[in-house]
Structure formats: C-alpha cells, structure tokens
Amino acid sequence: IAIIIGYNAQYRLYLYIKTKLIYTDNKYSTLVVIIIDKYQGMKFNVIIIDFLVIDTPGFLAKYARVNVRISRVRFVLYVLDNKE
C-alpha cells in the first residue's frame, strides 16, 4: 500500500502518523509514504492519493502530470479530494 501526496508538509505529517502506527502495530511498517514527484515508475497494488489542498492546488492542477502517477496502480485506487 502506498500513500501518495503532493506537498512536503503533508509528507511530514503522514510520516509522523506512520511512525505512531508502527509503534502500536509493526504491520504498518510496510506502508509506503511518497511524494508524487518521486513516485514515477513504481507500481503498488493499492494506492491512496491525497489531493486535499487548503488554498490553490498549484502543480497538482496539471492533470497530465498527475495522471501518469496514478495510472500505475495494480488493483485499487482511493482518491482523497476537496469537496469543491
């Protein structure tokens, strides 16, 4: 399972949460947390991609760039996005 995020602040938050989860159960150690730009060429069975943004989406608005990254999932893709 991989969680793909777009921004450094999100990355740090997810790593912090992953560390806390591993402390309670070591099975979470296999969870991959990665920034979208580092994801190119990798494949995962399950991907959770976090598009949640507070202000403007910035580079995540470039759909072709995002499409390349999320099209390599093997089985399941979960997308977290803002309501708007």
Q: What is the mean pLDDT of residues 1-20?
A: 90
Say if pTM beats, i.e. exceeds, 0.85.
no
Per residue in 40-76, pLDDT tens? Answer: 778 888 988 887 665 555 555 555 556 656 676 778 8
Q: Which residue bears the tokens 């995540």?
A: 60
Q: What is the mean pLDDT of residues 15-36?
A: 93
Whole-number average pLDDT of the chain: 79
Q: Tell me which residue of 1, 28, 8, 7 sits closest to 17, measured CA to CA.
A: 28
Distance between CA 66 and CA 6 in Å, rounded? 10
Domains and CATH numbers, the chain: 2-80 (3.40.50.300)
